[in-house]
A = this chain, B = another copy of it.
Amino acid sequence: MFSKRVEEMRPSPIRKFATHSEAARLAGKNVIPLNIGQPDIETPQAYFKALASIEEQVIAYSPSEGIPELREAFAAYFKKSGLPYEYDELLITNGGSEALLYAFAALCDDGDEIMMFEPFYSNYLSISQVIGAKVNPVPTDPENNYRIPSYEEIAMRVTPKTKAVIVTNPSNPTGLVLKAEEMETIKRVCVEFGLFLISDEVYREFTYDNAVFRSFAMYPELLSRLIVIDSVSKRFSACGVRVGCIATKNREFLSHVLKLCQSRLAVPFAEQIAAVSFFKESEEEIEKVRLEYKARRDVCVEVLSQMKEINFKTPEGAFYFILKLPVEDSDDFTGWLLSDFDVDGETIMLCPANGCYVTEGGGKDEVRISYCISQDKLRRAMVILEQGLRAYSRR
């Protein structure tokens, strides 16, 4: 009756406990959200001013490509960040999500595969399912900090159906920031097997300690097969604006994606106009945000390090941890925390990590937490997590 594609889709692991959370709130509990990558940092004021200044008589369809001002703003930002994309080598999308959907759709027919390092951002799976593509998972080892495996380990998993490799750098959910030799490995796989490389760089600015972000766009020999995904969501704390972009030097790829863009006509005009203002934010502003995330990460590391029963790796970038918990089923634990537990009327919402795996049983005792809320809330959340684990084991 319904398509197999939707029958096979699972509800978003990030959002599937919304009903539990709502019930907890109705029961008078305060729920600290660790489940979603929704920063609490203020959206720049310039966005609101730009929205208020719109004077069009008619809010008309804008070009399917995106409005010129915004394409130019992205191009200028890319240039400043060392990515060589011109105005007409990028298309504006409804968030990074649509950029991913269109990249997958332009490369994959039903049953074709996208290779991803596991654990991966859970929406990569659902977006593949929307267009009938499959995930070809390459496991990474938490004991080795989720680092990229060797060329041989990746190469042996490429199949004739594999069309592309996708990498999130810095990584959601592991916090890995790719080293030069890891990038060389991935590049070699893509070049030798003729695969496209989709580089999701929405957390580009968020790296900590000695980790250095490098874009795959620095390899000239990769440019014809490189697709860069970007978004204003995390960098400018503007997740609800839904403005992203897809950039590539491959003109044929871009012409195919343009047809996909035409099928949905346009991205909202007002959001595009207002998003231009983000790119006038100073680098100091973004650096301030980065330092705040580093401090938040440090709070989590400090507290988590004292909990012997939790295994984790210190993230080098983005704003997520994968935590290995002493529970059998993190889905059950997540629901239990919302329905049956609180510390002084407060509890936490986790994101079970099974959605970040397609390998059977992967992530069953893991959760992803997001540290994009205040240090104070994070401290309280870590206490709730620790006490929750203890109470849960004594149930």
Contact = CB atoms under 8 A, between A and B. Distances in A.
A4 B262 contact: no
Contact of A57 (B38, B42, B101): B42
Contacts of A248: none
A239 B6 contact: no
A241 B269 contact: yes
Contacts of A3: 105-109, 112, 163
A64 interface: yes
A240 B41 contact: no
A93 B61 CA distance: 16
Contacts of A266: 95, 239-240, 242
Interface stretch (A48-56, A72-80, A280-288, A321-329): A48-56
B107 A110 contact: no
Nearest to A44: B59
A61 B48 contact: no
Q: What is the interface residue range for chain A against chain B?
A: 35 or more
Contact of A267 (B7, B62, B242): B242
A237 interface: yes
Count the copies.
Answer: 2
A47 interface: yes
> Which 10 residue pairs across A and B have the least CB separation, nearest first?
A110-B110, A240-B269, A52-B52, A12-B262, A126-B263, A6-B256, A59-B240, A97-B264, A9-B259, A242-B268
Interface of A: 2-7, 9-12, 14-15, 18, 36, 38-43, 47-48, 51-52, 54-64, 94-95, 97-98, 101, 105-112, 123, 126-127, 129-132, 163, 237-242, 252-253, 256-260, 262-271, 274
26 contacts: A2-B107, A2-B253, A2-B256, A3-B105, A5-B109, A11-B262, A12-B263, A15-B262, A48-B54, A48-B55, A51-B54, A59-B238, A61-B239, A62-B240, A94-B268, A97-B263, A109-B110, A110-B111, A130-B131, A240-B266, A240-B270, A241-B270, A242-B266, A242-B267, A268-B268, A268-B271
